[in-house]
Amino acid sequence: MVRADVVRALNEEYARLRDENSQIHAKREDEVIAADPGIEPLVRGGSALFQRSARMLLMHPERAEALAKETRAQAAANDQALRARLVKLGYAADYLDPIYRCPVCRDTGYVGSGVRTACACFQQRLAQRLYEASAGSGPEQSFESYDEAVFPNDELVDGAHTQRQLALLVRSLCRDYADSCPDRGKPGLLLMGNTGLGKTFLLNCIRNALVARGFAPVKATGYRMFEAMHGAHFGETEKREEFRELIACDILLIDDLGTEPMMQNITREYLFMLLNERLAEGRRTVMATNLTPGDLLNRYGERLFSRLFDGMTMQTAELKGRDLRLCARRK
């Protein structure tokens, strides 16, 4: 998935920013000390204090609380003296404060201790990058370029429509879905049908229509979704973030649902969690699968099946007919 690469690149970007800012900070310290050598103990005071208190803590662990309090008070006094002296030298009082672009996450991109979540600044950049990435891929797959002439028109495939008629019906359903996103209509859409009937093409049409309207849909295959679930289950931080993003993103497109491995306690449970949370929150979710309704019931069980076919939140459509790739080869 493009997403993991984008996250990795963003993490590196944040690390570079932290490096640059700490270099600028070090330069400022040198500059101030050169202007006023007497200020050095105050400039180095903060870190010296914490080193001393760490040593004390090792020797007197029973006094941890008192030591911490003492250290905080000394640090505050040091900081106050430093600021006053900086102002006297003609600098801004905060000239030697740590430099951060984002004060919330201190440019780590994450907030919280223990369970870390992506900071708002990170999420915003991520959405932007994903948008740029998806705008650049497959723009030729659009509702406008959807050519119904490739579908056979010679026999009824569902008792009422030819393959071409059915394909046009499903296209217009997908188009309405994309047009009504994200505020109107049911949040979920499930596209079913055998390989080679154009499901992935339609999924890309929906995605590109949304990208053109300025949204940043996230697209994943069933397999990549499984990797995120599996990693989240076993506590991998990056995968847990990825799975959380799959739950939280505004618009999610899952291609090839049903190609992911079935693993006990993971596949059904996490997929249910994903769909349940997304649909309850009204988040747009499109899935394409080669599986029939019967296959879906067998594979995912009753509970998940009733989520997928819940008429309140889901629309479903099934493409039928001959594999287009085989049709083309026959000509």
Residues that bind Zn ion (CB under 5 A): 102, 104-105, 119, 121
Question: What's the rounded Cα separation, in Å, for the pair 176 and 174?
Answer: 5
Q: Smallest distance, Å, CB 13 to Zn ion? A: 12
What's the closest the beta carbon of residue 11 comes to Zn ion, in angstroms?
13
Q: In the complex with Zn ion, which residue's Cβ is closer, 109 or 187?
A: 109
Q: Which is nearer to Zn ion, 102 or 173 (CB)?
A: 102
Name which of 233 and 244 has its Cβ closer to Zn ion. 244
Query: CB–CB of 199/191 below 8 Å?
Result: yes
Give the list of residues 6+ apart from residue 147 with CB closer than 8 angstroms, or none. Answer: none
Within 10 angstroms of residue 283's Cβ, the number of other Cβ atoms is 18
Q: Answer for the pair 117, 64: CB distance below 8 angstroms, yes or no.
A: no
Q: How far is the CB of 81 from Zn ion (least distance, A)?
A: 30
Provide the minimum distance between the beta carbon of 5 and Zn ion in the complex, in angstroms, as a whole number: 21
Closest CB 206 distance from Zn ion, rounded Å: 31
Minimum distance, C-beta of residue 248 to Zn ion, in the bound complex (Å): 16
Q: Closest CB to Zn ion among 17 and 121?
A: 121
Q: What whole-number distance in Å separates Cα of residue 218 and Cα of residue 204?
A: 11
Cα R_g (the chain), whole angstroms: 28
Kindly provide the residue ranges of all beta strands, DSSP E only, lying in the chain, ordered along the sequence: 110-111, 117-118, 188-192, 218-221, 251-257, 284-289, 314-318
Give the type of residue at 142: S
68-77 LR contacts (CB < 8 Å, sep 24+): 74/49, 75/45, 75/46, 75/49, 75/50
Between 37 and 103, name the residue whose CB sits nearer to Zn ion: 103
Q: Smallest distance from the beta carbon of 245 to Zn ion, in angstroms?
A: 16
- In the complex with Zn ion, which residue's Cβ is closer, 99 or 297? 99
Nearer to Zn ion, 109 or 217 (CB): 109
Burial 222-243 (b: 16+ CB within 10 A, else e): bebbbbbbbbbbeeeeebbbbb
Name the nearest CA neighbour of 187 among 311, 6, 31: 311
CA count, 13 A, side-chain hemisphere, 150: 15
